[in-house]
Every structure is written in C-alpha cells, then in structure tokens.
Structure 1
Amino acid sequence: MQPDVDSSTDEGTRSAAQKAEAVRTSLGERDGVVVAFSGGVDSSVVAALARDALGDRAVACTARSETLPESELDEARRVAEEIGIRHEVVEFSELDNPDFVANDGDRCYHCRTMRLGRMYETARELDIDTVCDGTNASDPGEGHRPGLRAVEELEVFSPLLAHDVTKDDVRAIADDYDLSVADKPSMACLSSRIPTGLEVTEERLTRVEKAERVLRTWGFSQFRVRDHDGLARIEVSRDELEAALDIDFVEAARDHLTDLGFDHVTLDMHGYKTGSVSPEDDEGERTESGDEPLVEDVFSTEYPTGE
C-alpha cells in the first residue's frame, strides 16, 4: 500500500514524495525486479517501492556470506516481512576470490561483482530481467567508490539514483512508509573493519563479528571494532564515548575481546569515523587519508579524526 504523503514541494524542486512516485512508475514499467537487499534503509525503500509497483513480481534477495553479520541477515528477513515482499537468500563466499582476500583498494569492486552476480543468477531462475540496487543520488559524490563501478559494468538498475533520490529523500520516504529502519545507521560489511593491505580471512571476520556483538549487547548503536592484525580498536560515536569509559564496560570489553583472540584492546578517543581503515566499503564508508594502510601505526596522526 502506498503511504499517504504530502506531495508539496519547494519552488523548482521535486519533493521526496514526488520522486518516490517517479521511482514507482519506472519500476512498474518492468516485468519484474530482483532487489539487491541488505535490509538497510536504501534497499528497503527500493523494496517497498517495488512491492507497490509490481506486487509479487518484486523480489528482495539477500546474499549471505562471511562478511555479512548474522544479525544483519536476521534483520533483512524481518524487514522484508515488514514490507510484505518475497525474500530470497542466496549464498556465496568472497573468500573464494584471491583479489578480494588481498584487500586492496578495489576490494569492494570484487565483492560487489560477486554479490550482484548471484542476484542475476536468481533473477534468471525467476524469469526476471531486471536487478536493481539501493544506490542513491548522494552516493556518487562520496569519493572512492569502486563498488559503483561494478554496478555500472553489470548494468544494474539504480532507481533512486536515476530519479535523483538523495539520502535525505530516502529517509523521508522510509518515514512515509513507516519503515522500522528509517533511522538505521549504515552497517557496512565486516571486511570494512580490516585495514587495507591486511588479508581478509574468516578468522578475522568472525572475531570482529563476535566483538561487535559485545558492544551491541551493551546498548551501543553507532560503533565499529577495527581489527589491526590482533589489536582491536573500538570506535563509538561521540555521544556514546562516556558510556564506553564506564569501568564495567571497559573490563567486559577487554575480557571478551581478549577471549576472542585479540592481543590488545583499545578505545579510539576520536570516536566513530566511517571508513577509518580503508578507502571505502560496501556501504560507501570512506577515509580522507588516502590509500595507505594503517596497519603499521594504528595511532598515526594521519588517520581521520571524525572532524
């Protein structure tokens, strides 16, 4: 069901509601779509608009791999049910690709190519021609984004980008649909926690996922645990730094993360900063410090401070 939204607009500017209607119309002209679905706000908005436009010919598809936290897969299932869209889960492993494992500046290109390839396989099985994703109009201007190159090369349809739906518009549309993920922070794949130049391994991905589960249990909402080859660097948002300095949490984090195999556990006093160990990741996280890895000197003054 389409939300009841205010279609008013500033002079010369389309409102989020008008852009949403344009997206629904363009999706409705297709015989069906498979939505690359993470359960984040961007792909959830595309899924909701596609469900309105195409009914049962709209399918959300989530690719399960070692880089996807199990909690995020559960969240994707829940949000797909909330939207009322058919949800398919497929599996693949980025670790099968040595170029991905090497973790260079094009890691996300290799990941996105594999992930979207599985989407196209699913689309063929369902006799659907179109695969679409949640790239929005704010994404191309956010620096080094090799993942977008994969989207272009595979000719994935990005309806939010095509109709100038910005990140602010996305959240407004999500609010109009009353989606539970309307205010959900970005949640990039687990490989984004491993500094560029340090190999992505199942062991590192697993301990990062378990480490972040500890922070989630303690009630933190915007955080990362960066794995600097055995040194865990915990980042939390500035408004949660005080909670991170609580002695009970400090002791719990130290003990749990040490048990997971980390040699040292640190708290980054600069706070949470997207992409602070790599040029970018699957959700567009990026760093302003260039392509140099941060493994050798974790506390280098060169890495972003979140200003």
Structure 2
Amino acid sequence: MYIEKLEKLTALFKEMEKAIIAYSGGVDSTLVAKIAYDVLGDRALAVTAISPSLLPEELEDAKIQAATIGISHQVVETHEMENPNYTSNPINRCYFCKSELHDTLKPLAKKLGYPYVIDGVNADDLRDYRPGIQAAKERGALSPLAEMNVSKAEVRQISQHLGLSWWDKPAQPCLSSRFPYGEEITVQKLQRVGRAEIYLRKLGWNNLRVRSQSDTARIELPPEQIHNFVANTDLESLVSAFQEFGFIYVTLDLEGYRSGKLNQVLNQEDLQPVKS
C-alpha cells in the first residue's frame, strides 16, 4: 500500500515546476524534501525557519539530512516571539506560529520564483488538534502527504524503503509545545526546556519530553522505560543540572510520555479536527 502512495506522491511532484519545502528536519518534512529532490532536482528548495522554539541540535540534524538527500537548503528567521498572540500561549498558539512561518515562506517563494510551498502535514495530523494546519491552508501551502492519505506509520515505512537512516527518528515538535496553555512563553523558558532535553538525550534517553509548568520540570518517558530510568540514572546529578538550567522542582510523570498530552485539558469542541 505504501509503495502505491509513494508512486502517487512522485507523480504529484512531477506536475510541479518548482517547489519550496517547509522543512523542519522532522521525518515528515524530510520525506517530502527527499521525494521533491528526487523528482525536481535543483528546482526543489528546502527552507528551515529558525527561532528560539527550535533546538540548535534539530537545526544541525536538518542540515545534515538535507545534505545527505542532496537538496538545496536555506535557513530563514521567524519572529513569532514578537507576537503576544503567540507568547501568551492560547489554545490556538500553533495557528500564530504557522501564520508567521508561511507569511515568511510565501513572499520568499514569490521572490525566488517558486509557485508552490509544500509542508509535511500527514493524514494523522488532520485527525488531531492542529490549528496551525488552518494557517498554512489559508496561505496556500500544499500538504501532499495528507492529500494522499499517508499516515505517520506510512511516512516511516516509505522513508525506510528509500533508505533514509532517520526513518525512525522520534517526533520533535517545537519547544513551545512543552508548556500548558495559558502559561506565557519566553525565550528564557524555551532555552531552559531545551537544555534539559539535550541533557537527557546525552544520557541516552531520546524519546522524551520535558514539560514545563511554572518552576517545575516534568519528565515524560515511554512507560516501559520509567523503571530503568529511575534505577540507572544519577537522580541527584540530574536534579542539580535541571536546577542550574533554572528549574526549582524536578518530577517524573508516572503515566509516561503521550503525544499531545497537554491537549487533554481542552473540551471536545476545541478538539475538532481540521476540515479538509
């Protein structure tokens, strides 16, 4: 089934003259960049937006992956941190983030002569609460993975089929997703969370989140890893490191990591998926 979808994605790009890929370095947008480059060659351009909500390590990964694929790669700055609609962290915060992204990419595409801006939204994203998808659609961005009904699992299958070594890379949404809705987002808080997650990754824990609530860090790991984490981590050193980053309290979420966990405070009306 996923081979069929790969063929359809390839055919879709063959209909395009040139395209810019909104490229975060995540597995979704990297697959789109790979297919775009395979079809369009130097008529495809991957563009990564940098801001305080992107880990420096994620930017480096994006650069390495783009170089491995062969696609031209450009970096632009976005300024969502200057928008109080974003920093106040409402439930539709992602809308203002993606608005800033595509308000940056759309004029860039026009200036460089690229008729299409393509993102990495997949079919599963349409069934989740993702207000940023609407912002992208309003600005004319296309979502081939979603259009061809490619799920996250199929993204990984196709990536592995194409020989992309990062096919099983954990999802890494922007750092702003680590804060409960309504808590103000600042550069200092983003840096604090980023440094904490980097610290844990260097210890070998890759699929994780450090949620931030006021002065408390809440570590989320897959449930099956919690016992091993407690048994084999120098907790005293960890707490000391997190306090140096700026946290006062350090906790471990006993439920474990679950994508979109902070959305559980929203009501059903808020959680309506984006209409296609």
Q: Determine if contact 1:212/1:224 at 8 Å carries over to the other structure.
A: yes
Measure the CA separation in 1 of the matches of 2:99 and 2:193.
24
TM-score (norm 2): 0.93
Change (3 A) 1:170 1:262: same
2:86 maps to 1:110? no
Residue type of the alignment partner of 1:166: S
TM-score (norm 1): 0.84
Q: CA deviation at 1:173?
A: 0.8
Please list every run of at least 4 consecutive aligned residues from structure 1 whose deviation after the TM superposition is greater than 6 angstroms: none
Question: Residue 101 of structure 1 corresponds to which residue in structure 2?
Answer: 87
Residue type of the alignment partner of 2:10: R
2:265 maps to 1:289? yes
Q: Determine if contact 2:106/2:139 at 8 Å carries over to the other structure.
A: no
Greater helix proportion: 2
- 1:239-287 Cα offsets, whole Å, 9 max, x none, are 221232136431121000011111111111111122223xxxxxxxxx3
Superposition pairs for residues 115-264 of structure 1, below 5 Å?
A: 115-142=101-128, 144-246=129-231, 248-264=233-249
- 1:184-214 Cα offsets, whole Å, 9 max, x none, are 1110100011110000101100100011111
Q: CA deviation at 1:289?
A: 3.3
Question: Residue 27 of structure 2 corresponds to which residue in structure 1?
Answer: 41
2:29 maps to 1:53? no
Aligned-CA RMSD value: 1.3
Q: CA deviation at 1:75?
A: 0.5
- 1:126-171 Cα offsets, whole Å, 9 max, x none, are 21110000111222112x2211111211111111112222222211
State which drifts further: 246-255 or 19-28: 246-255
Unaligned runs of 5+ in 1: 1-14, 278-286, 292-307
Q: Partner of 2:265: helix, strand, or coil?
A: coil
Unaligned runs of 5+ in 2: 268-276
State which drifts further: 133-142 or 239-248: 239-248
Question: Residue 281 of structure 1 corresponds to which residue in structure 2?
Answer: none
| Aligned residue pairs, count | 267
Question: Residue 273 of structure 2 corresponds to which residue in structure 1?
Answer: none
Residue type of the alignment partner of 1:264: Y
Q: CA deviation at 1:33?
A: 0.4
